[in-house]
Structure 1
Amino acid sequence: MSTDPRTTDLGYPGAAWTYTLLSEPDLSYELARLASTNTHGSTDSVSFQPSPNPECYSQDRYVVQDWNLSTGIWYFHAVFDGHAGEETADYAVQMLPSIVKQHIQGFLDNHIDYSPTSISDVLVNAISSLDNAIAHDLLEIFPDPQALGRLSDAAIRDIINDSDRGSQNIAKVLHCMRGTTVLVSLVDPAKTHLWVASLGDCQAVYGRQDESGGWDAILLSSNHNAAESSEVERIRQEHPDEPECILRHRVLGAIAVTRALGDHEFKLPRVYTERVFLNAAPGFRTQQSVGEFIKRSFTPPYVSNIADVRHLTLDPNSKARACLVMCTDGLMDLSEGDSRDGGTLDISALGKWWLEIIGPVVWTKGTNAALYLLRAALGGADEDKVSQMMTVERTDRWMDDTTILIQRL
């Protein structure tokens, strides 16, 4: 293995960090290891955060499951991009698959057949039910917001900070305080229907390759953040007399995503943030900034738990090959330099570029297409550039968590 030490500024003029230049085959081996490369049936996966600092460990999570339900095998995939901490993402991984599964089976038990719209509604209700349950767990502890005003900070801290007594209450509080985006795909047993449900800014792109090798790309996710004009307009209409409901391209000037699980400091009356969340240990990473944005909270909720669902009809008898790329926004951050138009990220064009990259290898046995796409986004054949991204010696994170699932359909 090459251990040639070099320096890079990673695009920050005047900076200089040491990194190690790796050569093949060690570079590919180390990238596969760091990215936790895996294959689950017909799905390839990677989840990558190269920083060795424990405070920078990845908050991305994903799930790949096959469900043997009454009508046959349903195929469930989900990607979660946690923020402000990993607690809500971990809880979503634990709870959401079983909740969606129960909702789907419950619907099938009571209906002879299903339509695309009916399953879309099931997905929306299942996802929002988890978020409502997260809030309900907290409201069971403090059901009356007015009663909070009569409790001392010391009394509240004693109730919620129960790490020495089983951590049941602090876990419920942290599920509310932290947040995660959600991206879910579901395929029916006949493989004639594909549904994609999204909360936040993870992305899903369906690709269909014809005999000539060309790709048709269809964006199946939404972009729920405060840079998206439709989301900004929705929130402003919901809060017409609050000019700072969107500030500096962020909700209440604080959070970029406009839909998510958790983040109940943007959903519950602000007394819960002022009296409960700010007394939690561990608390927010930036307590002072919370005190600032919560002053703008008058008529919550500001962040929604209602997922957008897109449906696509599939043809299992088609000779054309097809796949679904699902990813957290880290992949967009790595890729966006070649895909901007007038300063606005063109996700559809970016998705087609991803498909063109993986096209030559996605059906090659023994090749992980998700790892191949990650390598291209990091620098491809440029060993120096990829080595920088993998080995630079910084104490903070230098790139966003990046998770990719590629499902062959």
Structure 2
Amino acid sequence: MSYSNLNLLVNSCLKLDLGIRQKILGNWCKDIIFGYASTYYRSFHSSITPDQAQKDIQAVPPTPQEVTVILRKNEFSKEFTSGSVKSYDSNQLASNIPIEDTRIEGVCKMTSGMLMGVFDGHGGPSCSKVISKRLLNYIAAALLPPDDLRKYLNEDLHQGLVETFNDKVELAEELKVIHTNSFKQYLLDLLEEHNAGNDVGVSLEKAILKLDSDMSNEVIEPFKKNGVVNTKTLSVAMSGAVACVAHIDGPHLYIANVGDCNAVLGTLTEDNEWIAKKITKEHNFENASELERLYSEHPKEETKTIIRRNRLLGDLAPLRSMGDYKFKWSVETISNLLVPLFGPTVIPQYYHTPPYLTAKPDVFYHRLTSKDKFLIIASDGIWDMMTTVQSVKLVGEHMKGKVFFNPLKLPRKNIQLGDINDLLLHRKESLKSKPKDRNAATHLIRHAVGGTEYGVDHSRLAHLLSLPQDVCRMFRDDMTVTVVYFDSEFLRQCPS
């Protein structure tokens, strides 16, 4: 196969959904990609010589130890001493460079509750990064009672409303100033509404819609005033992100979902069987009610053009998202603001009655019980590779096996030697189920990339982790996972 043909095949496959790509390609990955990928990639980089390319083709795949280093690069864990959340594990594995996924976790400072978010970007990482830096504060502000909101606005505006963990995203100073001004106006608007401190579900929806509106206005308003486009805010506007955010306060779990990330609850029955409770519903062409909603918002004559090739206007896979304003703005706004920069093709084909896209989330509520052991929030890079049932079983097995990372503790004093021997024999047998990774999110990613019906195949894992970026996206997407563990004893004592 020539490099030009391979290039054509790669570009054609990238327009398809990941699951369809995998079905079409089948074993082609192993037989062709692993042989041609390095040379294909380097054919576009004249600084790489043919000798170097040939050497790369023959290079030994990463060892199990090197694979583990790659998988653990972005993992993070946090434990808590009170409340219904006992701990959480999170991790990311990039396919795009830079990665377009982001995630954020934090505790509300002025109200009770914990916030966890996973954001899957597309068209670049700008939108998902901005959302991860701003959304939790928008939610926390909407939860504040009027008196606390007024105090915060007058005294503590320089302080964040959420104590975040593992926040590695940095934004340009120019963007920070713009964001601060928008947030201050948002707080004033909340005070004027006289209904700040709404229930969590209302606050989640309000915060997401308001942030989406602010990101749009941060591009449009300066352009209206002086005819100048800010390239930094425009970068955010031209990209997009889907979002899945959880608010956990005692036994109360709220999930707000925009797009095709998913949240799944792992529940253990009295018979010690794991049940996967999928809380969210994806906003894509496979969701019949979502298609019905979309069709009802536009004239009947557009029924055949709204969804083409299983995508919104033939272009966007999620049917709801934040950002992506070229599917939301009027034709006039796009013509004035975007066409001079990007040309007339920036207007999607059959773009007659915008907006075609919304950031309005579906909000779900679940009251946690002692049977609910953990929550998995993940981008579709994980769900493309495994089912919700598989994910819950994997985390359930990981919970059982990871206790062996800790030293053996005798259950009581004055234990007999025979009982100690039985305990050691049982522990030796159980060690067979000890997972390779202490972090459950890493455990899921390892199985998502390298898993087979017989377990993790190192050869598959090593090859998929060593593919060049141009080819990698054909076989896996960016993966982001957060696994939240609940304190069963705390939940058992919560009043019904």
Fold-level similarity (TM above 0.5): yes
Amino acid across the alignment from 1:135: S
**Change in 2 beyond 3 A, CA 1:84/1:393:** closer
Task: Answer yes or no: is 1:274 the counterpart of 2:313.
Answer: no
* Partner of residue 391, structure 2: 354
Task: Answer yes or no: is 1:250 the counterpart of 2:311.
Answer: yes
* Partner of residue 151, structure 1: none
Aligned match for 1:219, one of 278, 283, 290:
278
Matched-pair contact (CA < 8 Å) for 1:76–1:186: yes
Distance 2:104 2:64 in 1: 31
Aligned match for 1:405, one of 454, 476, 482:
482
* Partner of residue 67, structure 1: 108
* Partner of residue 199, structure 1: 258
Matched-pair contact (CA < 8 Å) for 2:103–2:118: yes
For normalisation by structure 2, the TM-score amounts to 0.64
Distance 1:391 1:14 in 2: 14
* Partner of residue 219, structure 2: 138
1:178-233 CA distance string (max 9 Å, x none):
11101000011xx1100010000001001112354311221111201133222111
Distance 1:395 1:177 in 2: 22
Distance 1:255 1:108 in 2: 42
* Partner of residue 63, structure 2: 23
Structure 1 residue 395: Cα displacement: 4.1
Amino acid across the alignment from 1:37: E
Structure (1 or 2) with the greater helix fraction: 2
Task: Answer yes or no: is 1:383 the counterpart of 2:458.
Answer: yes
For normalisation by structure 1, the TM-score amounts to 0.77
Distance 1:92 1:204 in 2: 18
1:238-297 CA distance string (max 9 Å, x none):
0023231222221122211111111111111023223322444xx6xxx67534x2x412
* Partner of residue 409, structure 2: none
* Partner of residue 177, structure 1: 238
More off after superposition, 124-133 vs 269-278: 269-278
3-state DSSP of counterpart to 2:480: strand
Structure 1 residue 107: Cα displacement: 7.1
Structure 2 gaps, min length 5: 1-25, 38-56, 80-86, 150-194, 406-437, 487-496
Distance 2:268 2:345 in 1: 48
**Change in 2 beyond 3 A, CA 1:12/1:238:** farther
* Partner of residue 100, structure 1: 139
Matched-pair contact (CA < 8 Å) for 1:20–1:388: no
Matched-pair contact (CA < 8 Å) for 1:265–1:272: no
Distance 1:40 1:395 in 2: 34
**Change in 2 beyond 3 A, CA 1:101/1:29:** same
More off after superposition, 100-109 vs 305-314: 100-109
Structure (1 or 2) with the greater strand fraction: 1
Amino acid across the alignment from 1:370: A
Distance 2:126 2:469 in 1: 25
Structure 1 gaps, min length 5: 1-7, 145-154, 161-168, 336-349
Task: Answer yes or no: is 1:32 the counterpart of 2:72.
Answer: yes
1:312-338 CA distance string (max 9 Å, x none):
0013xx3x3510001001012222xxx
3-state DSSP of counterpart to 1:101: helix
* Partner of residue 291, structure 2: 232
Distance 1:307 1:78 in 2: 13
Q: What are the residue-to-residue correspondences of 1:43-62 with 2, within 5 Å?
A: 43-50=88-95, 56-62=97-103
Which one has the largest radius of gyration?
A: 2
* Partner of residue 329, structure 1: 380
Distance 1:378 1:211 in 2: 32
Aligned-residue identity in percent: 24
Distance 2:260 2:147 in 1: 30
Distance 2:376 2:134 in 1: 23
What is the RMSD of the two structures over their aligned residues, measured on CA atoms?
A: 2.7
> What number of residue pairs does the alignment pair up?
344
